Homo-oligomer: A and B are copies of this chain.
């Protein structure tokens, strides 16, 4: 019945939903301040949300809204034809864009919901992996560590719906996204405040216990991840340049920074991962002394191999995150084939750069100093999902006490 009602929505109601979503992004996700610059990274198919966010941002007294529409088909032409030495070219004006934003403490929005998650299918995987703008990515990632208020949000579109449902049922996807981001609540902002308070409480409980390491066991997974001794557990509620913002819409995780020297064992990813326009299926990584030493995948192996070869930190963990099965995203029962959503239905890990906010004092350290202290640095940050009902997650204290955290997807602490 709900679906039928939704299908009869008028254009005006659709507009209203889009405008409400845009306000949520601007007010709750970004907490945009008067006079701020806002840079939006989008794909062409995200134009309706980019435009609605621009309207909401100017209504909130943004100084200027810059929308950069990336086009994977143009990038595909580069990968197919460019000289090998030009694959990693970073246009200086794109570096300048992020540096200018940093200097002015501008806000950042990334819109996801990939209409073409396999845009680079059939291309040489090594070239796909090497076709990354390192300098642009570094300048962009630098903003997400306490410099800019930022968020990521998904926009339902035909291509994304087709990936999930096998048909372009955008309305069904809209319903799912609205559920995940609490747009179905009478007062979404209030619902978000309550939700974030719950996650913050969970992080505080984990923090009090000062665990030394996490232990994961499940089909294909037997992994120990050392936590950094100066670590804190965090939520997506972040404070950047004094502005509290929620960096992911949706978010259901608590996460922290591992010691990049202390991951041991094997982990199997439980959901497909999309890296640089390529689907990676059945990823298996084996770690020794913090570092990936073996990589397997039933599809996309050459791309993930090149991706992990990007730099030293790309083969070490930068994040461990725990999600229980009762999350809003999990209750939809969907695999979204989109990290922003799937990582909030499933415990996950990330290779690449650490969130500096997870470690006291880390923001003041150079990349080399961080590396020496086991705080990972890289030009990538790529999450992959490892959660399942079969996955058992324990925390272990320095004295060897084992405390169950997740059983059958239920939170134990």
Q: Which residues of A pack against B, CB within 8 Å?
A: 44, 47, 50-51, 54-55, 57-59, 61-69, 71, 73-74, 77-78, 80-83, 86, 89, 91-94, 96-97, 100
- B93, A100: Cβ atoms closer than 8 Å: yes
Residues of B within 8 A of A51 (CB): 71, 73-74, 77
- B65, A77: Cβ atoms closer than 8 Å: yes
CB-contact partner of A91 in B44, B71, B73, B100, under 8 A: B100
- A58, B71: Cβ atoms closer than 8 Å: no
- B89, A100: Cβ atoms closer than 8 Å: no
Residue of B nearest to A65 (CB): B74
Residues of B within 8 A of A47 (CB): 44, 71, 73
Q: Could you show 6 A-B contacts with beta carbons less than 8 Å apart?
A: A47-B73, A54-B77, A54-B78, A58-B80, A64-B91, A69-B71
Q: Give A74 to B59 CA distance when docked, in angstroms.
A: 13
CB-contact partner of A67 in B67, B74, B94, under 8 A: B74
Interface core residue of A57, A58, A93 (most chain B CB under 10 Å): A93
Other A-B pairs beyond A57-B77, A65-B77, 11, CB < 8 Å: A44-B69, A51-B73, A51-B74, A58-B80, A65-B78, A66-B91, A91-B100, A92-B96, A93-B93, A93-B96, A96-B96
- A81, B97: Cβ atoms closer than 8 Å: no
- B50, A63: Cβ atoms closer than 8 Å: no
Residue of B nearest to A75 (CB): B54
- B69, A69: Cβ atoms closer than 8 Å: yes
Residue of B nearest to A90 (CB): B64
- B93, A64: Cβ atoms closer than 8 Å: no
Contact A58/B44 with A51-B77, A64-B89, A93-B94 known, Cβ cut-off 8 Å: no
Residues of B within 8 A of A59 (CB): 81
Shortest distance from the beta carbon of A226 to any chain B beta carbon, whole Å? 40
Contact A54/B74 with A47-B44, A59-B81, A96-B92 known, Cβ cut-off 8 Å: yes
Contact A55/B82 with A47-B71, A91-B66, A93-B94 known, Cβ cut-off 8 Å: no
CB-contact partner of A82 in B50, B58, B83, under 8 A: B58
